[in-house]
Amino acid sequence: MTPDPQDKRLHERFDTTVQVHFTLPYDFRTEVDFTLERERSVHPLPKHIGFSRNISVKGLCFESDQKIEPGQSLWLELHLPHDQNVIYMQAESRWSDLISPPEADRKTFLTGAEVKLVDGEQVDTTVYFDEKYHVMWSQLLERVLGGFAKACKKRSPERS
């Protein structure tokens, strides 16, 4: 297969299907600087729900019913199946495309986001090449895939 010249991906993608809750901390069109804590206490931010499609060293692709403008800040919560822990992230939207038929009553969008922080830790500083598995890795992948693997292992029946 010939590589797609339009594909700008720098890192491998790993398929995931994880519930994603997200908020848009401010209206992208607003240029006034608000204190987010004050704004949140006066007007609670609406929480949207989506599902991840794939994840990479520094990015997340997810499906939702929200069109998100490129450059929009996102606060994300990933809810791993069969795990009480929530993974908190701050990200920035890079693109958002309509994937449902234009005439559909319910619009569905696929959004790509660059993850900046995972549980308060900068993702950029955690990227490394794993010599054992020969793959680029990061705290983002460790939290989602490592946690996901642990969650699935707990669910698997024990063998005697």
Domain of residue 85, CATH code: 2.40.10.220
Record the pTM. Answer: 0.78
- Residue 47 near residue 23, CB atoms below 8 Å: yes
What is the domain range of residue 42?
A: 14-154
**CA distance to 22, 91, 114, per residue, from 74 (Å):** 7, 5, 10
Tens digit of each residue's pLDDT (9 = 90 or more) over 79-116: 988 788 899 999 999 999 999 998 999 999 999 999 99
Instruction: Give me the number of domains the chain comprises.
Output: 1
Whether residue 6 lies inside any domain: the answer is no
Q: Which of 144, 151, 152, 6 is nearest to 78 (CA)?
A: 144
Beta bridge partners of 59: 114
pLDDT at 47 over 90: yes
Whether residue 64 lies inside any domain: the answer is yes
Whether residue 9 lies inside any domain: the answer is no
Whether residue 2 lies inside any domain: the answer is no
